[in-house]
Structure 1
Amino acid sequence: MEHLTPFDALFLQAEDADPHASLMIGGVVVIEGPVPTHREFLDAVASRLDAVPHARQVVHGFPFDLGAPVWVDDPYFDIAHHVGRTTLPALGDEAALDRLVGHVMDPRLDREHPLWKCWIVEGLPDGRWAILAKMHRCMAGGLSGARLIELLCDYEAGARVVTIAGPQPKVSTRSLSDVILEVIDLALSPRRQAAFMARQLTSPIRLTRTSLQVIRGLMRYGTDLFAGSSAPVLNSHLGRHRAFAAARTSLDDVRLIRDTFDTTVNDVALAAIASALPVPVRADEILNAIDNRISIMVPSLPVEVADPVARLLAVKNRVSTHEFSAGTEAEHAIATLAERWPFAPVAWTVQMAARLPQRAIVAVGANIPGPTEHRKFLGRRIVEILAVAPISTGSSLSISIFSYAGRLTFGVHTDFGAIPDVGAIAASIEQEIARITEAARRVQQRRTTGAKRYEHLTS
């Protein structure tokens, strides 16, 4: 038996608070070359499962949340249930692939089975095909997005292929009843609860400091979270349908911007996102950005600034002042609560908070660094990788940022009922980076011209 980590368990609690929430992460891997047979693809996926935690396990919760959910082996695991194949309509293009991604991200995964699925997608332009995959966010705990992509790629000496003859059950050595009894004992045992309280009381200074950190972090984060906003469209209740589109840019252009204006790649990405938010918002509007390490930032995006370069510099300033303030304290507060207190009250608190209306967070973003060189799958070259971040309860937009082989891509994932024209957001991101790139080139040209004039005057 293995308990879910506190953060992973709370993802499930947040999802349970909203019947339309689906906290799935997704990925699209576009590949060139011949499409493998279904058996080849099954074998390739099976050969990589051992490296993915809980790929053959299911989540079991407990009545009244008396204990954190646990991972238990699925005795009827059948990889064929998780691996599929589909084809885009005739004359399939990027828009058709985007529509498929939105459709796939609609429903939740069945918790009676391991929480992942993947498909081969045929019919892309230029003879290309894709792998489309999704898994529940709680499965990715401890694995970065980049690491998950690395697991998919071929090994240096070629792909490791394990032939499978059919479903291979993996029977747990412990029954579910044993697991339930152990968790109930852990949650209800007076001896264990007394030991827990004794450990806390033996260090009153630590207990006081921890309590103050929790209160301060939650109060600062809560002030931002429930502050008023004029962005009701992006904060509407989630519907049943999703939409997806991708924005693409050259990583060289982003690095030129970074070096010219002394910012970071993350600053450039946030500035582009700020330009794309399609609603009027206050100057102190915020965006909750969570990377693959669950590090929370709450910067105030300068969506009210019209000039692209001025907006970029404002992002730089605001991120630097917010990066280690309320968001970091909130992260520490939530982690402390989840790790040091009984699971049930923490779970109930998370579910209650997820149901409260909030008008401040308009989007969730994930920044994932991928491989710097082109990789292969079954000997075929991987052309492009797109990431899909989940949509949080109370927000209708998520934007994932993924770097791969010299390109930076933005996966824009929306609730269709709130933002049907997801392509407009993707297009705005591309246009904004193009505008800042042009400004950076003009600055570099002026610097070069000035340096040449100085050299001429001093020669």
Structure 2
Amino acid sequence: MDTLDRIMVNRLSAEDAMYYFLDGSGTSAHMGSLLVIDPSSAGDAVRLDYQALVSVVERRLQLAPRYRQVVKEVALGLGRPLWVDDPDFDINFHIRLSALPHPGSMGQLHELIARIMSRPLDRERPLWEMYLIEGLSGGRLAVLTKSHRCLVSGPDNPEIGEVVCDVGVVGPELDEDLWMPGSPPGQAAMTVGALADAMARPGELVDSLLNGNGPVADIWSVADKSARFVASTVQQIVNAAPDSPLNAVTTSSRLFASAQISRRDCTRIATRFECTFNDVVLAVLAGVLRRWTLSTTDTVKHGETIRAIVPLRARDAEAVTQGPGSWVPEYEPEFVTDLPIGEDSPAVRLMQVAGLADRYSGSGRRLAPEMKPLLPELGMVPFAEFSARTFSQIFQRTYNVPIAMSDSVAQRFLAGHRVAEIYTIPSLAAQRALAISVNEYGGAVQFGFIADRAVVSDLPAMVGYVEESFDELLTSGLPQDR
């Protein structure tokens, strides 16, 4: 494959380029996962130390080639950026060793993760990091992954945390990896490649020149047309989300917290109230957000809601996870629904959550606009920073909080060691002060919360709120029994 063909093949997709350009002040489009490891389950496996983790990752990188590549932008934005092999790739830069003061608590682990997730990734290197964290109580270890969202797009481009984990104690046999970086293209070759890519779609190229797509024409006209196109899509939603500090302008400083509850008891609640498992999960979160609101305002009005965006798949009671399951969210249809935090009865709140979610998931006017780039089919990147900023502003008030819900995940092992807990760490978009993930793993429902430290400074309290909200549902009777 010659240089020109390689450039055209290795160009970022429109969606990946959108995530790449969404980085900015207060926004870092990286996400990750937290794996809590139980070393006592390893048996005869080699102790999981820093060198052992590096060895595992080195062997697995052949399954995720993007993790040895850097993003290289095309001059003047004439085309989407490229994936280019990093000629100076150093795995020891990306995998790091950290420790908590023994015996480390989950609260101390959360604070360390918050500091790590607050820092931007180095754009001059492959956009990921991994941390082996020692010192957790009970002899446990933690592995934290941090990947830019543009790296992760479906089964062909998995997140590094999924790459290093196995569904059995013994991992797959892999060929010896003799990777050598390819020669990076120069800007001249990249420019020629961008023009050749555009020439492959001559109608689009002519349209871009005549109508102002790209730096050689009227970029303001293009940005305005793109913004109006997306705005018309947003109008499908009935009305704006309620006023909430959760839509405050965000900073880059983060907080992280995690909590878990019994999956079996969630199923018991769902059976008692004749609703779905995910209805129970959303009701637990409604109770959490009610408590958080009361802690900040001292009062919650009857009928008050917080609007959430939720995967549409979560409403499919017949859905069956194919394969071992994934804890990393992919591009999928979503809908917006309201969490009734103004209802003080946990049983009534659950029934309201179920009714609203059932109604809105079937309404075309509540389907969320897909997270797509402006003018996605064009190879050029029209005024990327303006497009990203416009995207954030348009979608600012369509919902208050995103809730990612994963598949049911089968047991995982890392280098023969059982993974006891898995938490997804979602990215925190601009104009969002809180994001929540939900995983089903190891007989538990595991919640990950990431927030803007300046807005949700009491995020550690969410751990207790999850337990309280769950307990009140577990002990609640049906409304007619009250």
Q: TM-score, normalised by structure 1?
A: 0.81
Q: Flag the 1:342–1:312 CA change in 2: closer, same or farther, 3 A.
A: farther
Cross-structure match for 1:207: none
Identify the match of residue 328 of structure 1 among 360, 367, 378. 367
Shift, 1:289, TM fit: 3.1
Contact 2:286/2:339 (8 A) holds in 1: yes
Shift, 1:367, TM fit: 0.8
One-letter amino acid of the structure 2 residue matched with residue 231 of structure 1: S
Cross-structure match for 1:110: 122
Q: Flag the 1:37–1:90 CA change in 2: closer, same or farther, 3 A.
A: closer
Cross-structure match for 1:171: 182
Cross-structure match for 2:29: 23
Matched, 1:261 2:267: no
Q: Flag the 1:194–1:251 CA change in 2: closer, same or farther, 3 A.
A: same
Contact 1:400/1:412 (8 A) holds in 2: yes
Whole-angstrom distance in 2 between the partners of 1:40 and 1:50: 17
Shift, 1:168, TM fit: 6.0
Whole-angstrom distance in 2 between the partners of 1:343 and 1:192: 17
Q: Flag the 1:370–1:418 CA change in 2: closer, same or farther, 3 A.
A: same
SS of equivalent residue, structure 2 residue 251: coil
Output one character per residue of 1:217-274: Cα deviation in whole Å (capped at 9) or x when no partner. 33224x64xx363323x22221231111111101111112223323223222222212
Cross-structure match for 1:217: 233
Tell me which moved more, 311-320 or 113-122: 311-320
Contact 2:241/2:399 (8 A) holds in 1: no
Shift, 1:146, TM fit: 9.0
Output one character per residue of 1:283-311: Cα deviation in whole Å (capped at 9) or x when no partner. 45412235533322211221212211211
Alignment of 1:204-353 (within 5 A): 217-221=233-237, 224=239, 227=240, 229-232=242-245, 234-277=246-289, 278-279=292-293, 280=300, 283=304, 285-289=306-310, 291-323=329-361, 324-326=363-365, 328=367, 330-331=369-370, 334=372, 337-339=375-377, 343-344=381-382, 348-353=386-391
Whole-angstrom distance in 1 between the partners of 2:133 and 2:449: 20
Cross-structure match for 1:450: none
One-letter amino acid of the structure 2 residue matched with residue 218 of structure 1: V
Matched, 1:424 2:461: yes
Q: Flag the 1:350–1:150 CA change in 2: closer, same or farther, 3 A.
A: closer
Q: Flag the 1:121–1:67 CA change in 2: closer, same or farther, 3 A.
A: same
- Give aligned pairs, total: 420
SS of equivalent residue, structure 2 residue 264: helix
Cross-structure match for 2:222: none
Superposed CA RMSD: 3.4
Contact 1:237/1:393 (8 A) holds in 2: yes
Q: Flag the 1:246–1:328 CA change in 2: closer, same or farther, 3 A.
A: same
Q: Flag the 1:326–1:191 CA change in 2: closer, same or farther, 3 A.
A: same
SS of equivalent residue, structure 2 residue 432: coil
Contact 2:32/2:426 (8 A) holds in 1: yes
Unaligned runs of 5+ in 1: 198-211, 447-459
One-letter amino acid of the structure 1 residue matched with residue 425 of structure 2: V
Whole-angstrom distance in 2 between the partners of 1:375 and 1:264: 26
Q: Flag the 1:305–1:214 CA change in 2: closer, same or farther, 3 A.
A: same
Alignment of 1:26-425 (within 5 A): 26-33=32-39, 35-143=47-155, 149-154=161-166, 156=168, 158-159=170-171, 169-172=180-183, 174-175=185-186, 177-187=188-198, 191-193=202-204, 217-221=233-237, 224=239, 227=240, 229-232=242-245, 234-277=246-289, 278-279=292-293, 280=300, 283=304, 285-289=306-310, 291-323=329-361, 324-326=363-365, 328=367, 330-331=369-370, 334=372, 337-339=375-377, 343-344=381-382, 348-355=386-393, 358-359=396-397, 361-372=399-410, 374-425=411-462
Tell me which moved more, 1-10 or 71-80: 1-10
Tell me which moved more, 312-321 or 82-91: 312-321
Whole-angstrom distance in 1 between the partners of 2:404 and 2:125: 26
Unaligned runs of 5+ in 2: 1-6, 41-46, 209-227, 294-299, 312-328
Tell me which moved more, 167-176 or 302-311: 167-176
Cross-structure match for 2:214: none
Identify the match of residue 12 of structure 1 among 17, 20, 26. 20
One-letter amino acid of the structure 1 residue matched with residue 142 of structure 2: A
Shift, 1:328, TM fit: 3.2
One-letter amino acid of the structure 1 residue matched with residue 349 of structure 2: R
Tell me which moved more, 321-330 or 187-196: 187-196
Shift, 1:134, TM fit: 0.8
Whole-angstrom distance in 2 between the partners of 1:117 and 1:191: 40
* Percent of residue pairs bearing the same amino acid type: 26
